Structures are given as C-alpha cells and as structure tokens.
Amino acid sequence: MSFPAVTIEGYPRIGAHRELKKALEAYWSGAINKEDFVAAAHSLRVANYARLVDLGLTEDYAIPADVAYYDQVLETALTVGLIPGDVDLDEEFALCRGTAERSPLEMTKWFDTNYHYLVPEVADAEFTPRPQRVVAIADEARAAGVAIRPYLVGPVTLLALSKAADDAELTDPLDRLDDAVDAYAAVLAQLAQAGVEWVQLTEPALVADLGPGDAALADHARRAYTRLLAAPVGKARPNVLVSTPYGSLRAGLDALADVAPEAVHVDLAPATLAADPDYARRVGATLSPATRLVAGLIDGRNVWAANLDERARVLDELATTRDAVSVSTSVSLQHVPHTVADEPELPVDVACWLAFADEKITEAVGLSRRDADAFARSARAVRTRSESRRTHDAAVAERVAALPAGEVARTPDFAGRQDAQQALGLPPLPSTTIGSFPQTPEIRAARAAHRAGTLSDEDYTAALRAEITSVVALQEEIGLDVLVHGEPERNDMVQYFAELLDGFVTTVNGWVQSYGSRCTRPPIVIGDVSRPKPMTVEWSAFAQSLTSRPVKGMLTGPVTILAWSFNRDDVPLSVSADQIALALADEVRDLEDAGISIIQIDEPALRELLPLRADARPAYLDWSIRAFRLVSLDARPETQIHTHLCYSEFGQIIDAVAALDADVTSIEAARSRMELLVDLNEGFHSEIGPGIWDIHSPRVPSVDELTGLIEAALRHVPAERLWINPDCGLKTRRYAETIESLKNMIAARSKVLSAS
C-alpha cells in the first residue's frame, strides 16, 4: 500500500465551534454524563473526517487521527503504557486537571508553539501497552467509511519529553527506550491485525535542541527504529511514517536514512528553509529513493496563504531524487484556526491573504495536483498582499529606519535613575500588585453587551469607571503603596492592544487550542504597526485622579504581543518588534504627560519565545531586549519602569532579564519558595519583587507564611531593593480571597518592618 500523494501532519481536535471544549467542560461540570461525552467526541471526529475528505484528502491513510481528548502526549503515554494502570476516562482527566488528593501532571510548551502538553512521569514499572484506544478509532473511522492513519508521538520524543517519577530509581526516561519500543511494537502489531496499513510516529525531538543533544537523540532514534522496524510489514506491523515537524533535521536525518522507515516527513516550511537553506537538497540526497518522502511544504504554523509557485519549485527539486514525493503540511494544523470562512468581519482583501487549517489543506491538494485555479488564487494573494497599503506604511518604515541600530540604552543608568526616582517618596519594602484585579461576572457581561451593541459606549465607560473607582478605594483601604487601575477594560493582555493598533487584525472564531479545553484567539500582525491614538491613558489617568498615591500604568511588552500573535512572514520578527516598541513608546510618553510616574511593561512571554535551537538564541535575545528597551528609551529618569515575568525557572535567562534594564522586576517565586533568588548575580541590579503570594490557587496564605517568605527573600536581596507583591495578575481570582490575601501581605510586611 503506497503512501497517499497528499496528506497533513495533523488537524485541530477542538472543533470549528469548539465542540470538544464544550463537551469537556460540560462533562467536568456534571452537565452531561460519560456516554454523552464519548458520543460528542465521536461525532466530532467523524464530522472532521467527512470534512477532510470533502477538502480533498480522499485517499486511504491520507487522514491522520488521534484519540486524544486532552493532549496527544498523554494519550500516547497511556496507549503504550508509559503511565501505569488501567486508566479510565475520569482517571485520565485527574491526570490532566488534578483532584483534591493529587496534583495534575506538569504542563509545558510543546516545542516552540503555544500548545502545552502534559509531562508524563515514567516509573520503574513494566510498560503495559493498551492498544484498545487506538484500535478503536481506526475501527470507528472504518465504520464511517474512512481509513485513517493513527497518530502517535514516537518513542524517542515521548521519552525525551517525559520526566522520571519522583519515586522511581530511574533518572533519565530515555534509559527505558528499549522497553518503550517493545510496547510500541505491541501496539503496532495490534493495529496491523486490525487491518491498519499505515501508522504515523511523530519525532520532533529530532529537530530540537532538547536536553541530550542532537547527536545523542539521533543515536536513540537509530536504536529505537532499528528495533521497531525489524518486524516485517504485514501482520506484525503497518507501514511506518516517521514525521519530523518544527524544524530541520541534522544528525537525525542520517539516522532516519539508515533505519529507512517506509515514509519520512520533513518540515520544509519557508521559515525552516530560511534558517537552513540547504535542507531540501540534503533531504533529497540523504534519504533513500525507496523511502517515500512526505514533503511538509505547506506552512502549518502561520496563517498566510502559501506562495504555491515558490513551493512548487522546492517540490520539483525533490522530485528529481525519486519517483514520487507526497505533499503535506510542515507541522500539525492544530496550531491554526479552522477556517477563514468563519471570519465574516475580516476585510475582504485581508481574508484572501489568509489560509487557516481548511484552506491549507486546499493548498496542499492544489499543489499536489498542480491545480491551475489554486495556483492562480495563490499568485493573486501574494501579489495583492505585497502591494497593499495595509502591509507597508511609509511613515512607520521611516521612523524605524531613524532608530539607532543594535543595542540601545536608557539614560541615565540605573543608579542615576534611582536618584531621580527618590522623588516618588516610596516607603521601605514598597507594596504593589501585578496589574489586574478580579474580572467579575458583571464586568464580563458589560464587555459582552458592549461588543454585541446592546450597551452604549457611555454606559460601558461608566461601568469601567465604577469598577476602577472601587478597585482604587480597595487598594487604599488595604494600604498598598503603588496602586493599579485593575485592567477591567482588557479582555486579554495582547488582544486588547492588537484591537487598538494599526497593522493587526483580530478574529471572531480563530480559536486555537492552548491546552486541554483552553483555547486562545491570537491576533494577526498583517503589516507595519503603529498607534493611531492612546490606548491606556484614559483609564490610568482616571485612576490617578482618584488618589494621591502613585498609580502604575500597565502595558504589554512587544515580545509578549508578538509571542501571542500570528506574525508576518514577509519581514523578520525583529522588524515588527521595533514597530510595536515605538507604538508603546508613544504610549509611555502620553502616560507621563498624563501624570503617571510608574509604568509596568509586562513581558511574561520573554522566555517562551526563546528559540528551540541554541544557535538561534543570541540573535533572539538581542532583538527582544532591544525592543523592550525601546519602549522606555526616552522615558524621563524620574519615571520608574517596572517589568513582570511569569515563570519561576529563572536561571536560563537571568542575564536577559537583567539586560531589560527595568527599574523594578516582579517575578513568580512563591511556589519555589524564593529559591530562584539564589540565581541573582552582581549583574542583576534592578529592584525586585519576587511574588510572595501564589495567585494560581484560591488558597489564602497566612500572615506567618508570607512573613517567612519575605524573610527568605531578604536573605538574598537587600531591603532597599525588595518589593512586596503577589506573583501574577489577579484576574482569575475572586474578590473574597484577593482581599484577604492582600491584607495578609500588608500585615506580613508590617511585621517584618517592625522586627527590623
């Protein structure tokens, strides 16, 4: 059975109208029972298969499929028995979400995407494969008339992404690779006996600089696949497609050439080829002509219509090395929304430049069949986009060109600014919060009504002002020193700015799975970015008018705005970063003019955007630090610039955080009990607020506990540089625990001060 001519690496599981999310949440809340949940998930899968066939994935095994309700890594770990026990649906969800008795599995980013997977914990126990799950979806699809290709995370990647269970003797999960391969072999044998002829094992670990290093991972792959592929195709196993999304293979390419699976998928997206220009040639020359090459030519990570002429040239080059090349997407389409057809509010010219999951499938089919209409559509999209006034704004280009190149630095330096900022008159161990206050159901309802047009602009503004007034009064009553307006006007810290900046569009249905049932709707940077008018000044100035204490202005930084958006593919990310930074710099000036003396620039995604490949990191850090600094480059010395970062493993990028050159840095620390502060070195001069209240749970920390954390922090940070604050924004909390926790925080601060 030869491999289909056109396929995809994967498809969003969440449903065009978030059907899976709704079913999951209904089941978790008890609104529907297990049978209803399973039936809903089944209907969604079968409807998706029908849709994919309609889009042109008509050949047998062209459609990849997994059974995951929550996450593909967890699902594979359960299928091959990496996680011990006969885990039923409720136990599976307990692993995902935790229960009163046990905490959930850790969750972390899936390669350099905004999807998060659950980290399996590998014990010493034997792996007991449970192929029933995956056999069942193949059967279910066959009953619906479709021969799907089961999708599993491959053994090397699965173990590389896992961690050893706390109580295991084992230290490196990859030490159990042979056992894992035997478990995969058992699953594959069951699939073969169920009549499945192709299976997909995805091995993105082979493109990334994960812990063991590229050469070691390639050796693991050589060993794993030599063993797995030793069984003959037929009753013992199906044909195997090994896929390698998220970048180019290095040593892994030779390893895969040696073990020669029946098919190999490679990522040939424009960005991958830009980073590794010789990759297509190397792939064609290295993989045996007997191996079916599945060329991931359609970019699955961005939302732009492909340039099919240019893609066809890459395909033609590969076709000279073998009889047939299949066309696919570079990565799973799970990272893009379902369809542009569900976006009635996009300007029509912009809509035709875009391709979401369904449109990308049409492109792959069109490329594979050399369909003239598809090529004509593509050429039109490429041409109109490059000529559009929406993409190129001469005024923005001029402003960016006038900037100094390379490193920029605010003057005077930190010490000089500290003198100027004495004028703020802050007390010792100043207290503040990270920005947002609880988003009440009333505020959400008002925003929805305003959006729907049933609440007038005046009434909406009045509702927000009332909320700000009460948030300011509350902070004064609690005794905080640096107040915030509470961010009630923000639906989301990135989308809010994207809606107000030129050069962005936002979607109404462009949902992408972030993890489990959580979806986000990333805005799209379509062109040069500028700020038509102030974005936050009205709210901050109103809050400042209510109090004599300083109110902190609140901006999302350029790196985070880009990290949580779809980006342009016609300019480097650094160009958009400079443009957004300039727009935010205008906002800083307007905030200063409105009497705001403290401004926070949030960069929770600084580490998230760090490239997979070590060799790409220095350039990233250069442009991201530059963009952050540009925002406050011309700020007055007496304006205190804060930044906030949301992660506790500080070590890896501590130098970059120091290089941001903020006056005050707040960071998550409560859960690690201030351990991160040992990473601080002499280069780290900024004042620092290691969050002492972990806001990620509804628990109210006691005064004693908070006192202990402040004392622990004081062992690493001198009192003149220490701030007292929670470890993140409060928008997901309720007022009850917020008020109590903040009061305890202030009481703990008083206790420490009176003891000293």
The answer to the question of residue 606 lying near Zn ion (CB under 5 A) is no
154 binds, options ligand GLN, Zn ion, none, Cβ within 5 to 8 A by partner type: none
Please tell me whether 114 is known to bind a ligand.
yes
The answer to the question of residue 728 lying near Zn ion (CB under 5 A) is yes
Letters for 409-438 (x = contact with ligand GLN by CB under 6 A, - = none) are -------------------------xxx--
* Closest to ligand GLN by CB, 388 or 440: 440
CA 7 to chain centre: 25
- Radius of gyration of the chain, Cα coordinates, nearest whole angstrom: 27
- Furthest CA-CA distance within the chain: 81
238 binds, options Zn ion, ligand GLN, none, Cβ within 5 to 8 A by partner type: none
Catalytic, 265? Answer no
Please tell me whether 646 is known to bind a ligand.
yes
* Closest to ligand GLN by CB, 318 or 551: 551
The 3-class secondary structure across 2-30, one letter per residue, is CCCCECCCCCCCCCCCCHHHHHHHHHHHC
Which of positions 715-754 make contact with ligand GLN (CB under 6 A)?
Answer: 728-729, 731
Query: Is 135 in contact with 194 (CB distance < 8 Å)?
Result: yes
555 binds, options Zn ion, ligand GLN, none, Cβ within 5 to 8 A by partner type: none
Query: Cβ-closest residue to ligand GLN?
Result: 729
Query: Is 378 in contact with 357 (CB distance < 8 Å)?
Result: no
According to CB under 6 A, which one of 134, 357, 493, 573 is a site residue for ligand GLN?
493
Could you say which DSSP state residue 144 is in? Answer: T
In the complex, the smallest distance separating the C-beta of residue 735 from ligand GLN, rounded to whole angstroms, is: 15
Letters for 13-42 (x = contact with ligand GLN by CB under 6 A, - = none) are ------------------------------
130 binds, options ligand GLN, Zn ion, none, Cβ within 5 to 8 A by partner type: none
Tell me the two tokens of residue 56: 């042109």
Tell me the two tokens of residue 667: 């960071």
CA 187 to chain centre: 31
* Closest to ligand GLN by CB, 332 or 738: 738
Long-range Cβ contact pairs of 33-37 (< 8 A, separation 24 or more):
34/89, 37/89
Please tell me which residue in 42, 450, 685, 696 is annotated as part of the active site.
Answer: 696
The answer to the question of residue 488 lying near ligand GLN (CB under 6 A) is no
In the complex, the smallest distance separating the C-beta of residue 486 from ligand GLN, rounded to whole angstroms, is: 9
554 binds, options Zn ion, ligand GLN, none, Cβ within 5 to 8 A by partner type: ligand GLN
In the complex, the smallest distance separating the C-beta of residue 494 from Zn ion, rounded to whole angstroms, is: 13
Tell me the two tokens of residue 38: 């399973």
* Closest to ligand GLN by CB, 255 or 646: 646
580 binds, options Zn ion, ligand GLN, none, Cβ within 5 to 8 A by partner type: none
Look at the block and give the residue holding tokens 């070195």: 681
Please tell me whether 728 is known to bind a ligand.
yes
Please, which residues bridge with residue 600 across strands?
A: 554, 642
Which of positions 570-629 make contact with ligand GLN (CB under 6 A)?
Answer: 602, 604
Tell me the two tokens of residue 614: 């070590």
Q: Which amino acid does the sequence have at 96?
A: C
The Cα 408–Cα 320 span in angstroms is: 49
Look at the block and give the residue holding tokens 């997994």: 66
Tell me the two tokens of residue 227: 């063993």
In the complex, the smallest distance separating the C-beta of residue 646 from ligand GLN, rounded to whole angstroms, is: 4
Please tell me whether 96 is known to bind a ligand.
no
| Cα-based angle 296, 566, 355 (whole degrees, multiple of 5) | 55
493 binds, options ligand GLN, Zn ion, none, Cβ within 5 to 8 A by partner type: ligand GLN
Query: Is 602 in contact with 555 (CB distance < 8 Å)?
Result: yes
- H or E element at residue 537: helix 537-545
Query: Is 153 in contact with 552 (CB distance < 8 Å)?
Result: no
Please, which residues bridge with residue 265 across strands?
A: 243, 294
Look at the block and give the residue holding tokens 């202005």: 553
* Closest to ligand GLN by CB, 28 or 115: 115
Please tell me whether 91 is known to bind a ligand.
no
67 binds, options Zn ion, ligand GLN, none, Cβ within 5 to 8 A by partner type: none
Q: Is the dihedral of CA 662, 667, 673, 678 positive or negative?
A: negative
The Cα 262–Cα 293 span in angstroms is: 9
Strand pairing report for 598-602 and 640-645:
parallel
Which of positions 636-655 make contact with ligand GLN (CB under 6 A)?
Answer: 644, 646
Please tell me whether 21 is known to bind a ligand.
yes
* Closest to ligand GLN by CB, 436 or 640: 436
Of the ranges 31-39, 176-184, 330-338, 728-736, which one interacts with Zn ion (CB under 5 A)? Answer: 728-736
- 633 φψ region: left (φ > 0), alpha (ψ -120 to 50), beta (else): alpha
Query: Is 606 in contact with 656 (CB distance < 8 Å)?
Result: yes
Alpha carbon separation from 188 to 139, 145, 234 (Å, rounded): 15, 22, 10
| Residue 640 backbone dihedrals phi, psi, to 5 degrees | -90, 120
Which of positions 630-649 make contact with Zn ion (CB under 5 A)?
Answer: 646
724 binds, options ligand GLN, Zn ion, none, Cβ within 5 to 8 A by partner type: none
Please tell me whether 486 is known to bind a ligand.
no
In the complex, the smallest distance separating the C-beta of residue 27 from Zn ion, rounded to whole angstroms, is: 30
Number of Cβ atoms within 10 Å of the Cβ of 609: 19
Tell me the two tokens of residue 585: 């710099």
Alpha carbon separation from 698 to 25, 30, 418, 643, 670 (Å, rounded): 20, 22, 36, 25, 14
- H or E element at residue 460: helix 457-478
The answer to the question of residue 605 lying near Zn ion (CB under 5 A) is no
* Closest to ligand GLN by CB, 463 or 493: 493
* Closest to Zn ion by CB, 586 or 608: 608
Which of positions 530-569 make contact with ligand GLN (CB under 6 A)?
Answer: 554
Dihedral (C-alpha) 496, 498, 501, 503: value to the nearest 10 degrees? -170
Please tell me whether 435 is known to bind a ligand.
yes
In the complex, the smallest distance separating the C-beta of residue 436 from Zn ion, rounded to whole angstroms, is: 9
435 binds, options ligand GLN, Zn ion, none, Cβ within 5 to 8 A by partner type: ligand GLN
* Closest to ligand GLN by CB, 40 or 434: 434
Please tell me whether 567 is known to bind a ligand.
no
Residues that constitute the known binding site for L-homocysteine: 434-436, 602
Going by the annotation, the residues of the binding site are 21, 114, 434-436, 487, 518-519, 564, 602, 644, 646, 668, 728
Residues flagged as binding site for Zn(2+): 644, 646, 668, 728
Active site residues: 696
What residues make contact with ligand GLN under the rule CB under 6 A?
A: 434-436, 487, 493, 554, 602, 604, 644, 646, 728-729, 731
